[in-house]
Amino acid sequence: MRRNEGNRRPNPPSAKPRPVKPPAKPAVNKRDAASGGKASAGASASPVGVRPEKKLSEGASPLDVITATFVTEARTSEGLPPPSCAEIAFAGRSNVGKSTLLNAIAQRKGLARTSATPGCTRGLVLFELVLRGGEALRVVDLPGYGFAARARDEKRGWGEMIEGYLASGRPTLAGVCVLVDARRGPEEEERQLVGFLSSVGVSFVFVATKIDKLAKNERFSALERITREFGARVIGVSGDTGEGRDDLVRAMRRLSTPK
């Protein structure tokens, strides 16, 4: 017996297929997006829009001294090495703290010899400093004057040696740092030295040492007193604490820059 076709239930409509999501695009970081969305594996150059990495590590400064070496000690100007890089001479009384300051500049403890007895430097002592940026400077430690307990003839010889070097017309002599004890201010020897430097056309900068020995409310007036007398800027420094060291290195670089 045939089934009644009219009672046949129609098949249910087939379920609609679920939409297929396109595959997720790989994540592109900002660094790759800046270079067009392509990964730049192994690329050394910084892509556009990305800040380049700092060349200096944390705490590093372009004023840092990378190498500091003893060059020579000359007892006469003729004994100096051939002119090389810029030379900055340091002149001051024998008890002004010159060696301690030079060690602070070089960021070394024993580069320049320190002594409890003033006047140990008897020749022109040359050190070479190389800054982090590759700039080289030579520091010339001149014999101290004034307080040194040396024979009169020996001290007279020091004066002739210092004057001979400063007036020699040496092409690499860029300038002189005139050291003054911040507690005492300039004395007659400093006035004579400044007059001599002016007469031979050598640039100089005043450096007030042992600034840490003064109370903070005394420092400004001490520096101002030197400025008023000579009409020049004074840099207050301390070889013991390192205060003012960077300002002094900047001044040395300015002296060494060709005019």
The CB-side HSE value for 67 (13 A sphere, CA atoms) comes to 10
pLDDT per residue over 3-54, tens digit each?
A: 454 455 555 555 555 555 555 555 545 444 444 444 444 443 433 433 333 3
* Helix H or strand E encompassing 219: helix 216-230
| Residue 86 counted as domain residue | yes
| Residue 32 counted as domain residue | no
At 97, which CATH number?
Answer: 3.40.50.300
| Residue 55 counted as domain residue | no
pLDDT per residue over 124-166, tens digit each?
A: 999 999 999 899 999 999 988 754 444 454 445 557 888 889 9
Total structural domains within the chain: 1
pLDDT per residue over 149-208, tens digit each?
A: 444 544 455 578 888 899 989 999 999 999 999 999 999 989 989 999 999 999 999 999
For helices 188-200 and 152-166, the axis angle rounded to 10 degrees is 30
- For the beta sheet containing 234-236, the strands, ordered from the edge strand earlier in sequence to the opposite edge, are 65-74, 124-131, 136-141, 87-92, 173-181, 204-209, 234-236
Phi/psi-derived region of residue 170, left when phi > 0, alpha when psi is between -120 and 50, beta in every other case: beta
Q: Which domain holds residue 203?
A: 65-256
CB count within 10 Å of CB 20 equals 6
| Residue 82 counted as domain residue | yes
Amino acid at 44: S
| Residue 93 counted as domain residue | yes
| Residue 38 counted as domain residue | no
* Helix H or strand E encompassing 91: strand 87-92
Res. 59 pLDDT band, cuts 50 70 90: confident
| Residue 43 counted as domain residue | no
